Amino acid sequence: MYVRPAAAAAAAFLGFTLTLLGGTASYAATDPGSATGTGPGTGAGRAALGGPVVYAHRGASAYAPENTLDAIDLAMQMGFDWVENDVQRTKDGVLVVIHDDTLARTTDVEQRFPNRAPWKVGDFTAAEIAQLDAGSWFGDEYTGASVPTLRQYIDRVQRNQQKLLLEIKKPELYPGIEAQTLQVLDEAGWLDERHVTRRLVVQSFSADSVRVVHGLRPDLVTAFLGTPTVADLPRYAEFTDRINPWHTTISADWVSAVHGLLGAHGRAMEVDTWIVDDAATARKVQDMGVDGIITNAPDVVRDAVGGF
């Protein structure tokens, strides 16, 4: 068991946009035992494969500074394949991996650039962001960790033989970020069949952004972050494969309703819930039938529910 440093900050939750689209969706006659866990929309069958998938949220972010290469390296060392990250864009058009739209919480930007408040990611060049220390806020042992570019991050995930749950963060601030993200993924070799079917999911709180990604690359697995009503779920099933809600907003009946729909790839839709960092909640959502659990403390969740 890893020990959480005192410097670890609580996760910040951002709101989401419910943009509802027209259309109808098919309902699935789901056979939980038939899921393979390897293709788009594997359905409600992960429990039969050893428990929910465990996603290391921003890397192993309970134990290392979030969204850094250190955090995904630690997740790898702890035995976790799936890591989650957040993608935003610099002033000069480079995609970087950071959660907040300001650099203030997780870097030393206020000390290095004291006159640049409110220190928005989009107000700094990639070269300026590369100068920042993104680790010492979390612990002295991480002093000097940097904010990685998306390409640096993907290359490390590839080196670690991990899988990526990529979140397009606040796309309304960065027009065209969906196509640019796909371009970086393509240049890194991550849009071939092997990656697309087994190692990559793209998600967002913006339904419009998820729909754009699906339109540009219909073969990609996508996820919407939020908790649509049961009545609205069929509209999302037109352009996404997964609905990924905050754990406090769901019930077993709601999860079952998601599983009862065929998603964009014609398979039963899935539910990966967030952010679950304690054993009791992990067991609770497992009992609800979720397919995956997104967590800052993946070891705690794995110890509680198994998972893979």
How confident is the model over 5-28, as pLDDT tens digits? Answer: 333 333 332 332 333 333 333 333
Amino acid type, 91: K
In the Cβ-directed half-sphere of 246, how many Cα atoms lie within 13 Å? 10
167: which residues sit within 8 A by CB, 6+ positions away? Answer: 84, 85, 86, 87, 202, 203, 204, 225
The residue-averaged pLDDT of 85-102 equals: 98
Among all chains, which residue has been given the structure tokens 């058009």? 93
For 206-253, what is each residue's pLDDT tens digit?
999 999 999 999 999 999 999 999 999 999 999 999 999 999 999 999
* Reported confidence tier of residue 51, pLDDT bands at 50, 70, 90: confident
Distance CA 110, CA 139 (A): 18
Q: Which two tokens stand for residue 116?
A: 């640049």
What does DSSP assign to residue 102?
B
The alpha carbon torsion through 105, 147, 295, 1 (nearest 10 deg) reads -100
What does DSSP assign to residue 209?
H
For residue 89, what are the β-bridge partners?
A: 95
> Catalytic residue positions?
57, 99
The residue-averaged pLDDT of 140-146 equals: 97
Distance CA 126, CA 147 (A): 9
pLDDT above 50 (res 54) = yes
For 176-192, what is each residue's pLDDT tens digit?
999 999 999 999 999 99
Looking at residue 25, its pLDDT comes to: 36
pLDDT above 80 (res 30) = no
* Reported confidence tier of residue 44, pLDDT bands at 50, 70, 90: very low
For residues 133 and 144, is the Cβ–Cβ distance under 8 A? yes
For residues 301 and 251, is the Cβ–Cβ distance under 8 A? no
30: which residues sit within 8 A by CB, 6+ positions away? Answer: 43, 44, 259, 260, 268
Distance CA 136, CA 108 (A): 8
The residue-averaged pLDDT of 261-289 equals: 98
Among all chains, which residue has been given the structure tokens 């014609």? 266
100: which residues sit within 8 A by CB, 6+ positions away? Answer: 12, 106, 121
Distance CA 243, CA 226 (A): 7
For residues 109 and 116, is the Cβ–Cβ distance under 8 A? yes
For residues 264 and 239, is the Cβ–Cβ distance under 8 A? yes
Looking at residue 146, its pLDDT comes to: 98
For residues 35 and 52, is the Cβ–Cβ distance under 8 A? no
Looking at residue 197, its pLDDT comes to: 93
Mean per-residue pLDDT over the chain, rounded: 88
For 69-83, what is each residue's pLDDT tens digit?
999 999 999 999 999
For residues 23 and 260, is the Cβ–Cβ distance under 8 A? no
What does DSSP assign to residue 121?
G
φ/ψ of residue 242, rounded to 5: -140, 150
